[in-house]
Structure 1
Amino acid sequence: MIDMHIKKLSPLLANQIAAGEVVERPSSVVKELLENAIDAGAKRIQVDIERGGARLIRITDDGHGIEREQLELALARHATSKITQTEDLKAIHTLGFRGEALASISSVAKLTLSSKAQAASDDSAGWSAIAQGHDMAVEIQPRPMPAGTIVEVRDLFFNTPARRKFLRAERTEYVHIEETMKRVALASPSVAFTLKHNGKVTKRIPAAKSEEQQKQRIGAIVSNNFLRQALYLDTSIDSLRIWGWLSSPEHHQNSSFSQYVFVNGRAVRDRTLNHAIKQAYQELLPAGRVPAYVLYLELDPEKVDVNVHPTKHEVRFSDARQVHDFISRAVAEALEPQAETLLADELLQVEEVERAYIPQNNSFKDQSKDKYYHPRFEAGVAVEQETPSVSRTQVQRERHYSSYAPKPGSRNTNNQEGQYILVSERFLLQPIDSGVLLLDIKGFWLDYSAQLLQQEWGKETLKRKPLLIPERLGIPVEAVSERYLELWNKLGFDLNVTGPKSVALRQVPASLLHINIKQLAQDVLYATASVSHSISLQELQRLLLEKLSVHWWPDSNQSWLDLLNPQNWKESKFCQKLSESDLASWLMTKQASDTFSQTQLHSANTQH
């Protein structure tokens, strides 16, 4: 019969239970000890393995070392030098911080921790703390050694046979250790690593002191084939930055073996990050194939929680949606150039403005060119044309609206106030007791946006919003004046010159909703950049307001619901009251033509 009395667990048993989370296999030990060495400022680390780590794991580093008085404390559970108070958990800057690794390892193995502090004299000896995993007693002995730390872990799981029998073959465990060292090496390019197995050097990774050396290091760790075809990515906004290398859509694999993501220098396996990358590649890869990548995400430590699991493989973001969308869009934009296949090497001869962006409204281009015209033809570059694709979002949106569009002659039988239907992505019909209210959403929203912009411009109370990814726009001249950029800034558009014929749009007025801002800014840039020295603020304002109607963009289903919020839309000049007969006539007119004006609609209402 089981004794149901509550007893306090012994320190050994408690540590062995904790070790079940931290020490899963030899590679787990290697990971924890490598992270400790990097936190100690090591520049050279050597890993010695025997029998896949089951017999011996030895980590030697040249870090700052541990004082003799602190060696015994270093093996105690929840003892660490990396945090001191609760507030420190809000912004972790080190790889380790929980103070569990050495205590957990010493409870399931024979551990010797030897160290000599960098501040110690050259002729002084180092010290060793020995723990055998039985009664958790620690023995301190002198040991001649250079400055740094040596951690020896022998006979892993010698006192927990149930765990030991789950170890795999020696070769399998070694492969896991090698992969662990790869991840740590990718995260710490300035540290040199050496891996020895059964006395033989199996991998040597020199430190990278320049960007080119780091690329060579990635090629050596991941694959030179990957590096040769990989696309470089470096995008940032506010405190978020992602950079690294992505495989092109033409190069894919059948497993996730060469997929590495690092958050503030920590290797992680995070669903949010993986999903964001997968979403960017979703329509570019064959079924069952996945990309390879080495990506580094940097953000404010206060905006990411690494204290989620003892292994520290998982993280939690304070704004996961922002991080997800930022990464997904950054990766998608890095892959965009791959949509066109160039058949010549003269790409660099093409004007940067045409490479950067081709506006939707090509008023400055020759409109007589046929639909197969491509601007690169003028530069003598052959381009493979593909059938234009329609985005998944656009298809879903059209299906949504078409499901609500009334059929000719149909009528709404539910006359309750608040019910409405959408027609052609532009008109809103709301039943009332004596007929329907018909709102021209485009006219109403553009008028609302224009009034709001003019008020903010007049009172100089403009609110701005940063773009998740800065938009790269083209300009038709070699340079624009600082005064011209300042005019844009006064109107809420943050433009920065990025090349001889390109600018980056980083901030826009917050009141511009449901407008294709990239197209709007590009259109006005082409119309005004050539006269940037003489254009006035009022002229720029007028042109922006005129172009709003050209670039109206109902970009989500939610946009229609937003329009119901203003309390005065029923009294606006863009709202008409129609009887049932008026509605039938309007529907017939709508069926015959896709364009309507308020004058036509008012005329039809008067005649009936």
Structure 2
Amino acid sequence: MIRVLPDTLVNQIAAGEVVERPAAVVKELVENSLDAGARAVEVEIEQGGAGLIRIRDDGKGIAADELSLALTRHATSKIGSFDDLERVATLGFRGEALPSILSVSRLKLVSRTADAEHAWELGGAGHIDGAVPRPAAHPFGTMIEVRDLFFNTPARRKFLKTEATEFRQIQQAVSRIALSRFDVGFALRHNGRRVFDLVPAAGDEGRLSRIREICGDEFVTQSTAIDESRLGMRLHGWIGLPSFARPQADLQYIYVNGRLIRDRLLAFALKRAFADVMHSTHHPAYVVYLEVDPASVDVNVHPQKTEVRFREARQVHDLLFGAVHQLLRRLRPEPERHHQIQLAAEPMPDVVPGFVAPSGGASVSVWRQTARLDLREPSANRYAAPRTSESPGASLWQPPKPAPISESSAEIAATPAADARPLGTPLAQVHGIYILAQNDHGLVLIDAHAGHERVLYERLKQQLEEGGVPAQALLVPEVVTMAEDEADALEAQHEQLRRYGLEFDRSGPGSILVRAVPPLLGRDAVATLLRELVGDEVRRDSDTHFGEALDAQHRVLADVACKSAIKAHRRLTIAEMDALLRDMERTDLAGQCNHGRPTWMQITLAELDRLFLRGR
């Protein structure tokens, strides 16, 4: 038999979507405070929110004759017509939160408007049937007290996590909201203990102070501001540097018109912007704000309003991807701002009686990258890897040997304008892997392979933009064997791979005959490159992956650059080292290799002095 459900049961069903856990209650109530014009919000929690949630604000309050309506389902002052729903400018608008929370808790609502002589109070346990407002003592604004959450739905209460876990979720919820409203003060307390007290933030310094409080000092020092407008949209905020990439996506905040959202389209656009400067297993960090016309975004698509739908999704994607991508390409060394990593985590052994090793360890700095240097033709041949193959045609990949250079390291060090070289003057090579250089700030350590890899990658991208990577024919074609399904996948991408300088034919069910390769690629790397290009595509959906042009470009060119770059233990002359450093300074995004690893690190004089206890 079909029957109409009672209001109490309807509200409890709705609460299943709106009130998942105590953090959801806090989110809804704090957002209501902001919609009421509050400039100060206090959140008091006991027992992880299961015992008590109390929210106080200094907003405009609720009139006595509207208190009952405020606790009635689908009663709201925020919208009144379909046109209002099409242009939602508030955080809440459905009128579901308060009645849903009331249906699963013991709730008390106390409020006072600016023109009222005193406050009024209304409450109930699960419902307010027959309850009438009564006078109460309270300053201007509103206080909502939620006790014994899920007291009448024991099955829901059983699913709550530990007190610490539930409070951590509450703290994160308040922190996320605090990042969206710098003009509002937020206080959070748990079991009588002050957790944080955020004052209203004014100006850039105030906003950075709040960002530092919530996201940490390292994010502030390892991020750069962004502000880009296009087609009536504005993107602004802070983007973490590639060197600050994280193993988890735990520092990503996207706000649309002040509302924190989780949107795959926007997250995908931001991650793609980092594609060639960050390892695929890592995630970028950012706090960004997108401002769009409210009519161009639908916020009524998710029970908790954490997902939205854009009417012009492609334009939004292009704004985020394009703005961040261009920002990253303008990065260059900035010694004044860097992050620290431990140089010595353990005390060094005593080598002189009575000598005490420095405690805490010294630190190495990774320079921040910020503005673009002029892009010139890289001099890759001056430091290309030596050929090990003696097979016919090997000379086709072997670059001409550098002309005899009489310039010594001392002469290079005396070159005018050496102080304008961020990567400094090369002094020596360490174990055939790293280059040791000196600049105005101290010592620089450069990973030769990683730096050369970035130079070659950017050169290949430039060639591709100018019409395609040139192909150099092999005197003796190379036969590469692989599984038949891999050969099928590779053959399907034949025309696209030709643009990257790879020309081949199918010579058998499981064999590929390579006729030409990019000039920088060594013969011994051809087979490895082809197998790596196609291996992952067979395991995944090859068409889907190659369908994204930029992703395909990055994958192919990055593999070519990696296989062509200087190998470990290749001995370089001072002149070759200097040529590599100068090319890195002229190359976009030279601070990271194509896989997101740092290419160089700075050790300042102050850090060296601290390491050797100078000045103590």
**TM-based fold match above 0.5:** yes
1:423 Cα deviation from its structure 2 partner: 14
Residue 103 of structure 2 corresponds to residue 107 of structure 1? yes
Q: Say which of 200, 203, 207 aligns to 1:214.
A: 207
The residue that corresponds to 2:317 in the other structure is 324
Q: Which amino acid aligns with 2:420?
A: V
1:137 Cα deviation from its structure 2 partner: 4.7
1:359 Cα deviation from its structure 2 partner: 8.1
Q: Which amino acid aligns with 2:208?
A: K
Residue 381 of structure 2 corresponds to residue 388 of structure 1? no
Q: Which runs of 5+ in 1 are unaligned?
A: 346-354, 362-369, 371-375, 403-420, 426-608
1:342 Cα deviation from its structure 2 partner: 6.5
C-alpha deviations, 1:225-245, integer Å up to 9, x for none? 110111111111131111111
Q: Say which of 256, 261, 280 aligns to 2:254.
A: 261
The residue that corresponds to 2:167 in the other structure is 174
Q: Say which of 37, 44, 62 aligns to 1:41.
A: 37
C-alpha deviations, 1:430-467, integer Å up to 9, x for none? xxxxxxxxxxxxxxxxxxxxxxxxxxxxxxxxxxxxxx
The residue that corresponds to 2:429 in the other structure is none
Q: Which amino acid aligns with 2:300?
A: N
Instruction: Work out the CA distance in 1 between the residues paired with 2:13 and 2:179.
Output: 31
Contact 2:11–2:103 under 8 Å retained in 1? yes
C-alpha deviations, 1:142-189, integer Å up to 9, x for none? 111111000001110011111110000000000000000001100010
1:138 Cα deviation from its structure 2 partner: 3.6
Q: 1:164 to 1:6 in 2, by over 3 A?
A: same
1:42 Cα deviation from its structure 2 partner: 0.5
Q: Say which of 85, 93, 96 aligns to 1:97.
A: 93
The residue that corresponds to 1:75 in the other structure is 71
Aligned length: 382
Q: Which amino acid aligns with 1:227?
A: V
Instruction: Work out the CA distance in 2 between the residues paired with 1:399 and 1:26.
Output: 57
- SS in structure 2 opposite 1:389? helix
Q: Which amino acid aligns with 2:197?
A: R
1:201 Cα deviation from its structure 2 partner: 1.2
Residue 5 of structure 2 corresponds to residue 9 of structure 1? yes
- SS in structure 1 opposite 2:179? helix
The residue that corresponds to 1:195 in the other structure is 188
Q: Which shifted more, 50-59 or 392-401? A: 392-401
Instruction: Work out the CA distance in 2 between the residues paired with 1:30 and 1:308.
Output: 21
- SS in structure 1 opposite 2:145? strand
Q: Which shifted more, 111-120 or 175-184? A: 111-120
Q: Which amino acid aligns with 2:236?
A: W
Q: Say which of 25, 30, 34 aligns to 2:26.
A: 30
- SS in structure 1 opposite 2:456? coil
Residue 52 of structure 2 corresponds to residue 56 of structure 1? yes
Contact 2:212–2:220 under 8 Å retained in 1? yes
Q: Which runs of 5+ in 2 are unaligned?
A: 338-370, 378-401, 403-414, 424-450, 472-494, 500-616
Q: Say which of 283, 287, 290 aligns to 1:290.
A: 283
The residue that corresponds to 2:83 in the other structure is 87
Please report the TM-score for the alignment, with normalisation by the length of structure 1.
0.58
Instruction: Work out the CA distance in 2 between the residues paired with 1:423 and 1:335.
Output: 27
Q: 1:159 to 1:398 in 2, by over 3 A?
A: farther
Shift >4 Å, 4+ stretches: 134-137, 340-345, 355-361, 376-380, 383-386, 390-402, 421-425
Instruction: Work out the CA distance in 2 between the residues paired with 1:304 and 1:400.
Output: 41
Q: 1:344 to 1:50 in 2, by over 3 A?
A: closer
RMSD: 3.3
1:119 Cα deviation from its structure 2 partner: 2.1
Contact 2:463–2:469 under 8 Å retained in 1? no
Q: 1:422 to 1:105 in 2, by over 3 A?
A: closer
Q: 1:341 to 1:377 in 2, by over 3 A?
A: farther
Q: 1:21 to 1:283 in 2, by over 3 A?
A: same
Q: Say which of 108, 118, 121 aligns to 2:114.
A: 118
Residue 157 of structure 2 corresponds to residue 164 of structure 1? yes
C-alpha deviations, 1:48-84, integer Å up to 9, x for none? 1010000110000000000000000000000000011
- SS in structure 1 opposite 2:250? coil
Q: Which amino acid aligns with 1:389?
A: Y
Q: 1:281 to 1:137 in 2, by over 3 A?
A: farther
Q: Say which of 14, 19, 24 aligns to 1:18.
A: 14
1:287 Cα deviation from its structure 2 partner: 3.5
Q: 1:377 to 1:270 in 2, by over 3 A?
A: farther
Contact 1:107–1:136 under 8 Å retained in 2? no
The residue that corresponds to 2:356 in the other structure is none
Q: 1:90 to 1:379 in 2, by over 3 A?
A: farther
Please report the TM-score for the alignment, with normalisation by the length of structure 2.
0.58
The residue that corresponds to 1:274 in the other structure is 267
Contact 2:255–2:289 under 8 Å retained in 1? yes
Instruction: Work out the CA distance in 2 between the residues paired with 1:129 and 1:307.
Output: 29
Instruction: Work out the CA distance in 1 between the residues paired with 2:416 and 2:259.
Output: 46
Asked which structure has the greater RCO (Cα within 8 Å, sep 6+), the reply is 2
Contact 2:102–2:127 under 8 Å retained in 1? no
User: Pairwise mapping of residues 353-368 of structure 1 onto structure 2 (< 5 A)?
Assistant: 358=374
1:126 Cα deviation from its structure 2 partner: 0.6
- SS in structure 2 opposite 1:267? strand
- SS in structure 1 opposite 2:102? helix
Q: 1:398 to 1:159 in 2, by over 3 A?
A: farther
Contact 2:329–2:372 under 8 Å retained in 1? no
User: Pairwise mapping of residues 574-589 of structure 1 onto structure 2 (< 5 A)?
Assistant: none
1:320 Cα deviation from its structure 2 partner: 0.5
